[in-house]
Amino acid sequence: MAEPLLQLSGVHTHIGPYHILHGVDFSIPASQLTVLLGRNGAGKTTTLRTIMGLWQASSGMIRFDGRDITKTSTPDIARAGIGYVPESMAIFTDLTVRENIVLAARSGPVEPARLDWMLGLFPALKRFWNLPAGNLSGGQKQMLAIARAIAEPRRLLLIDEPTKGLAPVMVRSMIEAFKALKASGETILLVEQNFYAASALGDNVIVMDDGRIVHSGAMREMVEDKTLQQRLLGLSLDAHQ
């Protein structure tokens, strides 16, 4: 296999007095969608934030495209080509949809073709183009957050629970959007608690518990192996269905 696009080795993260990540190791191959699963508090969000440099790893190494980014500042990590959609979506509610997108395209105006592609993925955004983003519904905010992450070409997208709190119909259209993203060759690390969505999208799967990686492999294997599902994900995930 070719060198993975992103590689974490032995990453520990402390937040204040709390030790959250206890030596996380995994790698993300290019042009595939990897799903990060785990129950609440397993350390999924912390992992994404640590990759993004929003929290500093206290030890271990994070390599992106052959480069050590463990100590790199967040803006520089973003400039290296990582797009980030936090769990809170972090939409700028005071800005219009257009202004949110304009800001996200840091290196200049969004190319017309890219804009058409984005708005094709998320048609709702076109209708609310000049309205304050604070007026959008939860699902529309999520679309805007993802659109913002792809407003310019990125090498890797980190997306934190995009289906959280969405209505089933919305979840389905979100899955369609992700399928389209995958088809266009994007590399995606997706944190997901919804196993239905995860299994529909993932090429690979990583499972976390208690700040450690407890399983990683192909998604197909996991979908087929019910005992593995039961052991790793237990009842908590079934309850989500």
Closer residue to other proteins, CB minimum distance, 164 or 182: 164
Q: Which residues inside 186-205 make contact with other proteins, applying CB under 8 A?
A: 194
Q: Give the closest residue to 8 by CA, choosing from 195, 189, 222.
A: 189
Q: Exactly one of 26, 28, 43, 148 binds other proteins (CB under 8 A); which one?
A: 148
Q: Report, in Å, the least distance between residue 110 CB and other proteins.
A: 13
Q: Exactly one of 31, 137, 230, 236 binds other proteins (CB under 8 A); which one?
A: 137
Residue 121: alpha-carbon gap to chain centroid:
17
Q: Report, in Å, the least distance between residue 12 CB and other proteins.
A: 21
Closer residue to other proteins, CB minimum distance, 77 or 213: 77
Q: What pairs with residue 114 in β-bridges? A: none
Q: Exactly one of 31, 56, 59, 135 binds other proteins (CB under 8 A); which one?
A: 135
**Count of positions on this chain that bind other proteins (CB under 8 A):** 47
Q: Report, in Å, the least distance between residue 207 CB and other proteins.
A: 21
Contact present, 143 and 124 (Cβ < 8 Å): yes
Q: Give the closest residue to 46 by CA, choosing from 57, 32, 60.
A: 57
Please state, as a whole number, how many other Cβ atoms lie within 10 Å of the Cβ of residue 119: 16
Q: Report, in Å, the least distance between residue 197 CB and other proteins.
A: 10
Burial status of residue 85 (CB atoms within 10 A of its CB: 0-12, 13-18, 19 or more): buried
- Distances in Å between the Cα of 49 and the Cα atoms of 53, 78, 164 are 6, 12, 18
Q: Exactly one of 2, 168, 183, 227 binds other proteins (CB under 8 A); which one?
A: 168
Site string for other proteins, 108-127 (x = CB under 8 A): ---------------xx--x
Q: Give the closest residue to 241 by CA, choosing from 196, 175, 189.
A: 196
Closer residue to other proteins, CB minimum distance, 56 or 88: 88
Contact present, 131 and 98 (Cβ < 8 Å): no
Please state, as a whole number, how many other Cβ atoms lie within 10 Å of the Cβ of residue 32: 18
Q: Which residues inside 36-95 make contact with other proteins, applying CB under 8 A?
A: 52, 54, 73-76, 78-79, 84, 86, 88, 90, 92-95
Closer residue to other proteins, CB minimum distance, 135 or 218: 135
List Cβ neighbours of 104 (8 Å cut-off, separation of 6 or more): 147, 148, 149, 151, 152
Using CB under 8 A as the criterion, which residues of the chain lie in contact with other proteins when the complex forms?
Answer: 52, 54, 73-76, 78-79, 84, 86, 88, 90, 92-95, 99, 102-104, 106, 123-124, 127-128, 131-132, 134-142, 148, 165-171, 173, 194, 240
